[in-house]
C-alpha cells in the first residue's frame, strides 16, 4: 500500500479517550486525533507524531501507563498502529476497526 493513504480508527480500552484515528501514508503517521481524554496532552502527542515513521512511534509509545492503569492513550495508539501495519502488510486492510 506504498503511497496510498489509509485512515484507521481504533476504539481504545481502559483509557479516558474512547477512540483514536490516524492516517498512514508510505509508513508515516498523519492526522492523529483522539476522541475524549486530556485534550492538551493528546494534541501535543498528535503534533509530535505528525510525519513520524509508524514503526518508530510504536517503539516510543508501547507500554506507557497512565497512573495506576495498565495502559494509556499513547499505549492504545501503539496497539492501533500495530494493527494497522499488520493489516496493510497483508494488503487486506479492514481500516474501520469496529471489533473492539
Q: What is the per-residue pLDDT across 34-72, written as a single tens digit (0 to 9) for each?
A: 999 999 999 999 999 999 999 999 999 999 999 999 999
Average pLDDT, the chain: 90
Kindly give the residue spans of alpha helices, DSSP state H, lying in 1-100.
39-49, 54-61, 73-89
CA distance 97 to 15: 17
CA distance 38 to 16: 8
Pairing of strands 28-36, 17-25: antiparallel
Q: Determine the pLDDT at residue 78.
A: 99
pLDDT > 90 in the chain, percent: 81
* Domains and their CATH numbers in the chain: 5-89 (3.30.390)
3 state DSSP class of 5: strand
Residue 14 sits at φ, ψ, to 5 deg, of 80, 20
- What is the pTM assigned to this prediction? 0.86
Amino acid at each position: 500500500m506504498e503511497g496510498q493513504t489509509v485512515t484507521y480508527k481504533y476504539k481504545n480500552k481502559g483509557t479516558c479517550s474512547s477512540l483514536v484515528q490516524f492516517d498512514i501514508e508510505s509508513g508515516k503517521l498523519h492526522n492523529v486525533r483522539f476522541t475524549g481524554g486530556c485534550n492538551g496532552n493528546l494534541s501535543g502527542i498528535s503534533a509530535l507524531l505528525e510525519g513520524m515513521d509508524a514503526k518508530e512511534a510504536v517503539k516510543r509509545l508501547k507500554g506507557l501507563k497512565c497512573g495506576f492503569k495498565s495502559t494509556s492513550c499513547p499505549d492504545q495508539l501503539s496497539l492501533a498502529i500495530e494493527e494497522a501495519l499488520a493489516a496493510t502488510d497483508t494488503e487486506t486492510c479492514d481500516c474501520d476497526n469496529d471489533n473492539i
